[in-house]
Amino acid sequence: MSGPSADPDLGVPHAVIDRVEALHADIDAAAAPLARAHATRLQCAAGCAGCCTDELTVFAVEAAVIRRHHADVLDQQPGPPGACALLDPEGRCRVYAHRPYVCRTQGLPLRWDTGDAAAPEGRDICPLNAPGPALDALDPDDCWTLGPIEARLRDLQESIDGGAGDRVALRSLFGASPPPPEDPNTSLRDALRGLFGDG
């Protein structure tokens, strides 16, 4: 029995969701060497949720990944206001394997192009990390560069919304789980009812 070809509420085709999941795998592969290089500094671990804010929004294409794999979580109660709705009572992410891009690189030293000729590069790191080398002393390759992955996600989102850039609050996913897979016989039954009535 085949199911619907897209997430029924977010309108994200399954083929696009597959591409987002492949992108997440690429992100994890690229971030792993940085995490190893900064292992003594990084404090990110299960239950560390200082950066898991309640206001987090993601592109609909990433929200659809969560909906694909975690309808069971989204049928539960969201976490209390003030922190990410996807956290459990111990502060652990309930969708960790399918978390959004921003959650996959949080904690790493970050660098980005500011567009300002006087100070062309910005850098930051989670303040919950242990002390380490000054950020401006790090080689650029020892930082996660913001921009390229965001552009790829934006392109995937644009492929479904024409550039509107639809974003979804993670808390809004609760209580909006997809319906069961579509029964392929439904349209035939509806057509026959139209011809012969319900009798």
Instruction: Dump pLDDT digits (tens) for 11-45.
Output: 899 999 999 999 999 999 999 999 999 999 988 77
pLDDT band with cut points at 50, 70 and 90 for residue 10: confident
> Do the beta carbons of residue 35 and residue 108 sit within 8 Å?
yes
Predicted confidence at residue 191, as pLDDT, reads 43
DSSP structural state of residue 5: S
Burial of 141 (0-12, 13-18, 19+ CB in 10 A): exposed
pTM of the model: 0.81
Predicted confidence at residue 186, as pLDDT, reads 41
Q: What average pLDDT score do residues 52-68 get?
A: 94
Residues 165, 17: Cα–Cα separation, whole Å: 16
- CA-based max dimension of the chain: 78
Query: 67-120, pLDDT tens digit by residue?
Result: 999 999 999 999 999 999 999 999 999 999 999 999 999 899 999 999 898 989
pLDDT band with cut points at 50, 70 and 90 for residue 8: low
Given a cut of 70, whether residue 199 has pLDDT beyond it is: no
Predicted confidence at residue 114, as pLDDT, reads 92
